[in-house]
Copies of this chain bind each other. A is one copy, B any other.
Amino acid sequence: MMLFVLKGKGEELKDSLGRSSASFKFLDLYGKRVLIGWPDSEMEKLDSPSIEFRVKTKKPYVLSSAEWKKERTVVDVSGVQIGGEEVVVAAGPCAIEDEEQLRTVAKSVKASGAKILRGGSFKPRTSPYSFQGLGEQGVRLLVRTGQEVGMPVVSEILDARHIQLYKEVDMLQLGTRNAQNFTLLRELGKFGKPVLLKRGMGNTVDEWLSAADYVIYEGNGSVVLCERGIRTFETSTRFTLDVGGMIVAKLSSHLPVCADPSHPAGRRELVHSLALASVAAGADMLLVEVHPRPEKALSDPEQQLTPDSFSLLMERIKALAGALGRKA
C-alpha cells in the first residue's frame, strides 16, 4: 500500500483515483493532508505537484509508521502531554470498587506525582464467575472523582455499544483481549478521544501497529501503544514484559509508548523492577495498579501496589528519568 503526503487538499487526485480501481482515503492527520491507497500498481501511477512525498511499504500498517512521519507524536490527554520530555504515570485501582476506595487512591497517587487516574469498571474476566466490575456506575464514579481531584481519567471499554458512556472519560483503553477486535478499534477511531492501545498477549509488534492503523484510519491519530506482557513458556511471572518489543514499536512508529508493569509482574515485588526497566528503555508512560488494601481487592490482589509503595516508586522513577535527561 502507498501513502502520500500532500500540499493541498488533493482534489485533483480524487478524480483520477475515482476512475481507477484503487481503494483510497484522504485523511487530515497531525496537521497534514494524507492520501492512502492500494493496490500499489494503481497508486504508483499518481502524479501531481501537490504530492509532497510518497511512501510505499510491505508492512501491514502505514499510518502509525515512522516511514512517513519522523517527528514523534505527542498525545494530549486533557492537558497532559504523552510522548514529550515527561514520563507520564497513570495510576489507580485495577477495578473501581466504591467511591471511598477510588477517592483514597486518587488523592494519594496524585500527591505522589501521578498525572492520570486509571480505574476499571467494565472488566474483561477470564471466568464469567469473577467480579465483572461496577459497569456504567463505575464509569460515572471515575469521571466524578477525576474532576474532584483534578486528574484526567483513563478506563477500559469492552463493547462498542457502550461508547456514549465514555463521553467524559479523557482516554479510552482498549484491552489485550480486544487487541484485534476490529469493530471496537474502528469505533474508537470514530469517537476521536485518545486511545491507550494495549498489545494483544499473543500479538506481534506488527499486529499491534496494524491495530493502531485501524484507529488512525478512522481519523483519530491520538494513540498511545501500551506493552503489557506477552504469553511465553515462562510461568514464574504472569506474562513476559517485552521491553524489546516495546522499543521496536517506538522505533517503527511515531506514536508514544506506555508500559504496564502490573499485569506481567503478577506479584507486587516485581512491579518496581519492571516499571524502572520500562522507563530506562524509553517508555513515555506507565500504567500502574494501586489499591488502598491490595490484599482485599476484588481483582488482581497479588499485583496492586499500596499507596506507600507507589509513592516510593514515583521517587525512583523521577530519579531515573532525571538521569536519562527526562522528567517525571
Contacts and interface: CB of A to CB of B under 8 A. Distances in A.
Nearest to A244: B237
A58 to B, nearest CB: 11
A48 interface: no
Contacts of A202: 200-203, 230-231, 233
A101 to B, nearest CB: 19
* Residue among A158, A269, A323 with max Cβ neighbours from chain B (10 Å): A323
**A interface bracket (residues with beta carbon within 8 Å of B):** 35 or more
Contacts of A230: 202, 232-234, 240
Contacts of A304: none
Contacts of A279: 280
Interface string A8-29: 0000000000000001000000
A178 B180 CA distance: 7
B241 A270 contact: no
For the complex of A and B, list the 3 residue pairs with the smallest distance between their C-beta atoms, beginning with the closest.
Answer: A202-B202, A280-B280, A60-B127
21 contacts: A38-B129, A129-B213, A159-B183, A177-B180, A178-B181, A204-B235, A205-B236, A229-B244, A231-B231, A232-B232, A232-B233, A232-B242, A234-B242, A234-B245, A236-B244, A237-B244, A241-B244, A243-B274, A244-B273, A319-B324, A320-B323
